[in-house]
């Protein structure tokens, strides 16, 4: 459930100038997770989620919730085709119910997490089910497109339906973008799938995920978000001016400095991510060296500051 640390963190991002805030991956069902994952399984989540939506909207940012199931690593099955049809359809219904709860809580919409080997990504890339949800690409993407259409119908035409997706096969990456667009999605958020992007042109100056996003941008009519090692405003601005994407997502930069957007737009230098080999923030935000350094500087500044 949402607690005060979530509210404080997302208030900092919205106050820090982000135009779109996507709340961290939230599970649509209670599953055995290896991290403290927010869960949208019951209506009991709505009051806390409403606090998050309200604090993000307070600073005029758009608020989405990323909804997901972590996937096979939290299930008893080893392959998608081993999931019985009853459970497979129950998981599908859970996504719809979670989206409705986010809508009731006041969010502008949801983002499906179908990247990074999460459940929806596993279905798209690996499903060998013998029913209509496995085998051919059209069958593997069917769960996804049915979810988009059903949430559009159940939550209303004004709800934003975004999709975070990736696929090491560029052909299937683009076909997924086509399918999302045809199903009524609003926003394409391109990241990685179950493998790295290969054959990125040697002269391409940005992350491989940005290259993948540029291919989607060239093909799709929907807005495209790119992500991947974008640490400075100059990098982000260059990506936008070159037409590689329509929006940029800044992850670690915002973790290191929640005011990354405001400072960048103002021409200031955000507190930089130190690019630790193993991200300390991911383990425990309090351990992030960048944030510890920022807090120390604030403490020293406070000790030497004299009000006029």
Helix or strand (DSSP H, E) at 6: helix 4-15
pLDDT of residue 308: 33
Strand-pair category, 62-68 with 247-248:
unpaired
- Spatial neighbors of 25 by CB under 8 A, at least 6 apart, are 37, 66, 67, 68, 113, 118
d(CA 24, CA 12): 14
Closest residue by Cα to residue 110 from 123, 131, 96, 125: 96
pLDDT of residue 298: 53
pLDDT of residue 293: 64
d(CA 92, CA 201): 38
pLDDT of residue 290: 86
pLDDT of residue 300: 46
pLDDT of residue 287: 85
- Spatial neighbors of 101 by CB under 8 A, at least 6 apart, are 40, 43, 45, 46, 49
Cα dist from 193 to 106, 122, 141, 241, whole Å = 30, 9, 14, 26
Helix or strand (DSSP H, E) at 50: helix 46-57
| Residue numbers in the chain where pLDDT is lower than 50 | 300-308
d(CA 225, CA 217): 9
Cα dist from 266 to 4, 15, 21, 57, 247, whole Å = 29, 14, 19, 21, 18
Cβ–Cβ under 8 Å, residues 66 and 26: yes
- Spatial neighbors of 122 by CB under 8 A, at least 6 apart, are 71, 72, 80, 194
pLDDT of residue 305: 33
């Amino acid at each position: 459930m949402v607690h005060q640390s979530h509210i404080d963190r997302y208030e900092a991002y919205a106050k820090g100038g982000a135009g779109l805030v996507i709340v961290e991956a939230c599970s649509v069902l209670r599953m055995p997770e290896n991290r403290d994952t927010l869960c949208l399984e019951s209506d009991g989540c709505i009051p806390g989620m409403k606090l998050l939506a309200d604090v993000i909207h307070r600073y005029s940012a758009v608020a989405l919730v990323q909804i997901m199931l972590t996937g096979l690593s939290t299930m008893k099955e080893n392959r998608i085709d081993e999931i019985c049809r009853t459970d497979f359809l129950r998981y599908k219904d859970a996504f719809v119910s979670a989206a409705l709860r986010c809508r009731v809580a006041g969010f502008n919409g949801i983002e499906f997490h179908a990247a990074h080997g999460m459940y929806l990504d596993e279905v798209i890339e690996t499903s060998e089910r013998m029913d209509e949800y496995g085998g051919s690409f059209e069958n593997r993407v069917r769960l996804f497109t049915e979810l988009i259409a059903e949430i559009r119908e159940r939550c209303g035409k004004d709800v934003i339906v975004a999709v975070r997706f990736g696929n090491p096969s560029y052909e299937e990456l683009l076909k997924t973008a086509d399918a999302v667009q045809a199903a009524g999605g609003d926003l394409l958020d391109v990241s990685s799938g179950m493998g790295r992007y290969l054959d990125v042109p040697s002269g391409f100056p940005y992350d491989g995920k940005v290259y993948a996003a540029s291919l989607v941008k060239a093909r799709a009519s929907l807005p495209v978000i790119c992500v991947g090692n974008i640490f400075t405003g100059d990098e982000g601005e260059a990506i936008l001016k070159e037409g590689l994407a329509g929006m940029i997502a800044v992850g670690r930069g915002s973790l290191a400095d929640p005011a990354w957007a405001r400072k960048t737009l103002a021409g200031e230098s955000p507190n930089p991510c130190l690019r630790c080999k193993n991200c300390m923030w991911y383990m425990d935000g309090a351990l992030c060296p960048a944030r510890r350094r920022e807090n120390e500087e604030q403490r020293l500044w406070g000790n030497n500051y004299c009000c006029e």
